Amino acid sequence: MLDPIKVWLNNVAVSHSNSESTSNVYTRHFKAFCNFIGKTPRQILEEYKESTDRQFRRGYARLLRAFISELHQQQLSPNTINIAATTVKSFFKYNDLPLGHVPNVRKRILYHNRDITREEVNLILDASRPRERAFYTMMAQSGLRPATICSLRYRHIKEDFENGAIPCKIDIPEEIAKGKYHSYFTFIGQEGVHYLRAYLNTRPRIVDDSYLFVKQGSQNEPFTPKSVSMLFLKTLRKLHDKGLIDIKQKGERAPHDVRLYNLRKFFRKYAHQAGLEIVQFWMGHIVRVGVDEHYRPQDVEWHRKLYAEKAMPYLRMETATPIETERTIKELQQQLQQRDKELAQLRENMKKMQPLVEFVNSFDAPKNLKEILDFLKDDYIREASDEELRPLRIEFSKYISDKLDEIARRKGITRKEALGQLVEEDLRISEEGDKRFRKLEKRLRKRS
């Protein structure tokens, strides 16, 4: 006797997606529904034969609504609940079973994964073994799904890989593409090729039919998406414990805001300059089904050139992207402009100092210059006795203020009277300074 679930899933595969992951998800959700109502798929089919349409339709609509309510109580995400409800409806539809009204669960993203930075990707790569490092880099630079990468064989990259072509093309045949809708291709850059070559060198023997990524210690048993996802999370937690990467989780059963699929999101974000439709093609998405799809360029070299110019520079891991390089150039230009301003100011200051330089150079002997400077130093204050040249303001000179206080205290006079005496003394000292200067001038002329 035919298995109702197997027949149903085969029909879904023919009309929609022949994805193994979809089949697993549908099987899991429908078994959960059967456990909830306490019946097997075959019992549901038999019950329809023994019931009226009205009774069956209304009865199972109530059961499905109760099942949805139970999933809400378990605090599952709206998308998960919607998939579970869609799964049950699909079983009824493909088996021609009537089902009463069941409201659609409103779709909304409850757990957002954030953007992963280039620095964080590099930290993850540095903390990973050769196999995982090559896997993560391929995912980030090609946009491929984990399940697709796990299904890749050496023949899918052999031609470009052995010829050293960069970007290196990866062929995705229809049989390993999600849904098996069509074949397509994508690329990886220099780092992706380098890490993949380093990993393959650890394998004893590689032939065309060898899987690119295999389980540890296995000759040719493929790596699984679940295993690579768990290893990615394990590495994340280690880096988080060291304070190098910040990851969050809203609840015990909720996913982290950084997970394996963030690498695919990284590709979509940084390859966007190639154009959304082309990026979607490289990622294996169906963008325009039908006639329009035939107008999309299929020439490999056209795609290779576009990837090399518009995607690869921004998907590099270890070197600066064009945006980062441009930012560095701007910073250096600003530093050069600031240096030019400082040099211009320095030139202006040197221009102002030129008379002093000429004055110093006019002396043929350092001793003569020293005598002049000593004289000017001793008589600096007394040179400017004229009130028009040097107004006496107490707040400008502590020395004068203290001197006035000393004279007034010693002679018992006012500060005003002391100021007059100080001026007279200053004039006398100035005249003596003039005499000393004339004597010094005569002495220098005799020596010259």
pLDDT value at position 388? 45
The model's pTM: 0.61
pLDDT value at position 350? 72
For the chain of 448 residues, list the mean pLDDT of each consecutive stretch of 10: 80 67 87 94 92 93 94 86 92 92 77 85 95 97 95 96 96 85 90 96 93 92 94 95 89 80 93 90 75 68 94 83 63 82 81 66 59 57 48 50 75 75 68 68 63
Q: Reduced to 3 states, what is the DSSP secondary structure of residue 229?
A: helix
Q: Reduced to 3 states, what is the DSSP secondary structure of residue 172?
A: strand
Cis preceding-peptide flag for 167 (omega within 30 of 0): yes
pLDDT value at position 320? 59
Buried b (16+ CB within 10 A) or exposed e, 334-366: eeeeeeeeeeeeeeeeeeeeeeeeeeeeebeee
The answer to whether residues 260 and 228 touch, using CB atoms and an 8 Å cutoff, is yes
Cα–Cα distances (Å) from 263 to 189, 267, 399, 407, in that order, read: 15, 6, 75, 87
Biggest CA–CA distance in the chain, Å, is 141
Q: What is the per-residue pLDDT across 98-155, written as a single tens digit (0 to 9) for each? A: 999 998 887 666 667 788 999 999 999 999 999 999 999 999 999 999 999 999 999 9
Nearest alpha-carbon partner for 77 in 107, 119, 103, 99 = 107
Correct CATH for 4-94 of 1.10.3470, 1.10.150, 3.30.160, 1.10.287: 1.10.150
pLDDT value at position 365? 57
pLDDT value at position 339? 82
Q: What is the CATH number of domain 118-319?
A: 1.10.443.10
pLDDT value at position 393? 44
pLDDT value at position 163? 95
pLDDT value at position 394? 41
Cα–Cα distances (Å) from 228 to 17, 145, 203, 233, in that order, read: 23, 12, 18, 9
The domains of the chain are located at: 4-94, 118-319, 321-352, 363-447
